[in-house]
Amino acid sequence: MSKPRKPKGRPVSGWLILDKPFDFGSTEAVAKIKWLLKAQKAGHAGTLDPLASGMLPIALGDATKTVPYVMDGRKIYEFTVTWGEERTTDDLEGEVTQSSDKRPTAEEIKAILGDYTGTIQQIPPQFSAIKIDGERAYDLAREGETVEIPSREVEIHRLTLIASDEKTARFEVECGKGTYVRALARDFGRQLGCYGHISALRRTFVAPFGEDDMVPLADLVALEKIEDEAERLAALDAFLIDTGEALSSLPQIVINDDQAHRLRMGNPIILRGRDAPVSADEAYATARGKLVAIGEIGGGEFRPKRVFQG
């Protein structure tokens, strides 16, 4: 019987909050970061289109277990809509399908924003990752098919017009999981009777990470000039954020080393003290500031569901 293949790379864990450049794919970005840090495992929390820039949270090692918690977080985008043309992709990349000479005033734009705030129904773009009968919508769209994509409920927490001129309008939106900003541009244009598409898009926030956490790709690539590998990797590792930071929306319990050992063995621990949470469907435990486990609290116990080796 052959021995299990040893994983390639370092067992490095944590979050790297990349400031993804324009015209660079999310999958390409993850591969680049994985290669730079020589990591065994990497993934991202929420795709950014190649024509979009900004925050792309990249999980390394054990942090990949916390990706769903970041995917569910609120996001903030700044985006520019160019009026007069609707396009197949709802951004600069697509072909023009509708056009108009009409241009909206700032007052007309502001008057419709309330229709897109709160819980709304939104139809995702034809060029999206939505699955239709087992196939991605963008694959069908590239083959020339027009498919019926059902509308879905999304949450828009805040939508602001920042600036506008005769040709464009710039907005900021804070939204929940699954919102397509390209669809907002399409729907604005249709309602205003002038058509529109995204001409610039930047993500500035993915809860719980903010702009101060972002690292430009150029800063990371610049470290390749460090010839000593240990020194180079240490410089790259300095940009990592602890895995547990992704779980700040959950209740936290602080435990000792003995309790941490029990959790890592898959065993529950008894919670004592008046400050211990009574119950929680999900919570996380830390020891010495490091994430140990995600689990549930009930009956005076913390029961681990996912453990982290630290």
Q: Catalytic site residues?
A: 49
What's the rounded Cα separation, in Å, for the pair 266 and 248? 23
Written as one string, the DSSP assignment of 197-232 is: EEEEEEEEEETTB-GGG-EEHHHHHGGGG--SHHHH
Question: 15 near 246, Cβ under 8 Å?
Answer: yes
Angular region, 144: left φ>0, alpha ψ -120 to 50, beta rest: left
Q: Where are the alpha helices (DSSP H) in the chain?
A: 26-36, 67-71, 106-112, 137-142, 181-192, 217-221, 229-237, 257-264
What's the rounded Cα separation, in Å, for the pair 50 and 308? 33
